[in-house]
Amino acid sequence: MKEAYLYEKIEKSSVHCYLCSHHCRIAEGKFGFCGVRQNMGGELFTHVYGKAIASHVDPIEKKPLYHFLPGSTSLSIAAIGCNFRCGFCQNWEISQKSIRDGDFPGEDFAPPEVVRAALENKCKSISYTYTEPTVFFEYAFDTAKLAREKGFYNNFVTNGYMTKECIEMARPYLDAANVDLKFFRDDAYRRVCSGSLQPVLDSIRLMHKLGIWVEVTTLVVPGENDSEKELSDIAEFIAGVDKDMPWHISRFHPDYQLIDKSPTPDATLKKAQELGLKSGLKFVYAGNVYGWGNDTCCPSCKKALVRREVFSILENHVKKGRCAYCSAPIPGVFA
């Protein structure tokens, strides 16, 4: 347990948590919406500091991050909890656990041990992923700070529902983020996720402005966010921030509370890719599919630069951030 970052004391022993965009006002003894941060004696504490519910060595492409150290591996960690309640969550077994409900917080895996494991496994980065890293921010922040000192990169896989203060605090140690942009309708965010749209859009803009490398993922769920208008709106928003920002359109598989839905058809994903390119985006990728939609091509000479099969790199012709054929710059972080 550790005292939380980014909160203030308010009246009658209550606290205001401004780590995420729920801005919870938490009374004495109560938990925030995340279920892992508790007001104890007028101070806010996190119960998941140094407690990993998951730890794996993953290819960075699994995050998915395609323009961030392609072909490298990343030590991926998570703690329980989330500030969303998405019915289609594919990691719901750990994201929807909470200390408030009496769930076990995870195994001891302190920040120095995480960094040591990254070194032993010859990883280039540490990913804060699987659940929402904002919820275990203190754990992620302290780990990222140590990791940077040892020469590692850091990335968040996030729903983007954090505050300006959270992003600005993370910035010195955060190199990249993949942000889920689930809908382009506030009512859908409220109904499905128990959140709202605008903070996510603000986070994407701010991360980009601060120089964090950002890629965006949309899980395309039949009947929920697969209309041409919604997909076009998402693509046009991303293009309005930066046409070089990659957009990952990912196939949905039935899970959690949406087991009655069918997997996303290829035709829908191909239409989304077409809409993304039409909006001016230079890099639109398909996720959870096989045989198409995963290669990085040079926007200038159009040649395939990074050829992928699932999470494996078959070829990589990006040299020092440039196309090996025509020397055009390729946006991203390339070691």
**Alpha helices, H only, 19-126:** 92-95, 111-120
User: The pTM is what?
Assistant: 0.96
Rounded to whole angstroms, the Cα distance separating 318 from 244 reads 15
- Residues in the chain, overall count: 335
Q: Is the dihedral of CA 109, 110, 115, 117 positive or negative?
A: negative
pLDDT tens for each residue of the chain, 335 residues long:
999 999 999 988 999 999 999 999 999 999 999 999 999 999 999 999 999 999 999 999 999 999 999 999 999 999 999 999 999 998 999 999 999 999 999 999 999 999 999 999 999 999 999 999 999 999 999 999 999 999 999 999 999 999 999 999 999 999 999 999 999 999 999 999 999 999 999 999 999 999 999 999 999 999 999 999 999 999 999 999 999 999 999 999 988 888 888 999 999 999 999 999 999 999 999 998 988 999 999 999 999 999 999 899 999 999 999 999 999 999 999 97
Q: What is the CA radius of gyration of the chain?
A: 20
Please give the Cα distance from 195 to 255 (Å, whole number): 20
Domain limits of the chain?
2-46, 51-294, 299-328
CB atoms under 10 Å from CB of 38, counted, come to: 22
User: What is the pLDDT at residue 260?
Assistant: 87
| CA end-to-end distance (rounded Å), the chain | 36
Residue owning tokens 């203190």: 138
Nearest CA among 144, 154, 145 for reference residue 124: 154
CATH superfamily of 51-294: Aldolase class I (3.20.20.70)
> How far is residue 64 CA from its own chain's centroid?
9
| The pLDDT of residue 115 | 98
Verify cis geometry, omega within 30 degrees of 0, for the bond prior to 64: yes
Sheet holding 284-287, edge to edge: 54-59, 73-78, 125-128, 153-158, 176-180, 213-220, 247-251, 284-287
CA–CA separation, 16 and 23 (whole Å): 7
Distance CA 119, CA 334 (A): 19
Tell me the C-alpha distance between 264 and 222, whole Å. 6
The residue among 39, 135, 158, 5 whose CA lies nearest residue 83 is 135
